[in-house]
């Protein structure tokens, strides 16, 4: 989101909320839960 604050357009010319929604969708399709800590390796 630093790009938005610096006045640099986000990739795909999306708004910050659109970008966050897209990331959430991508994480979901990969089975990644951003609320859950990663498993210890």
**Does a structural domain hold residue 19?**
yes
Cβ atoms of 39 and 31 closer than 8 Å? no
pLDDT per position as a tens digit, 4-41: 889 888 888 888 889 889 988 998 898 888 777 777 76
Q: What is the model's pLDDT at position 19?
A: 86
0.75 surpassed by pTM: no
Q: What is the model's pLDDT at position 11?
A: 82
Distance CA 11, CA 14 (A): 7
Q: What is the model's pLDDT at position 41?
A: 64
Mention every residue, 6+ apart, whose C-beta is less than 8 A from residue 10.
Answer: 3, 4, 16, 19
Q: Which domain holds residue 22?
A: 1-30
Q: What is the model's pLDDT at position 39?
A: 74
**Does a structural domain hold residue 39?**
no
| DSSP symbols for 1-41 | -HHHHHTPPPGGG--HHHHHHHHHHHHHHTT--TTSPPPP-
**Does a structural domain hold residue 17?**
yes
The count of other CB atoms within 10 Å of the CB of residue 19 is 16
Number of compact structural domains in the chain:
1
**Does a structural domain hold residue 11?**
yes
């Amino acid at each position: 989101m630093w790009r938005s604050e610096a006045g640099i357009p986000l990739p795909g010319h999306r708004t910050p909320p659109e970008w966050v929604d897209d990331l959430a969708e991508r994480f979901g399709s990969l089975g990644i839960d951003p609320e859950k800590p990663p498993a210890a390796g």
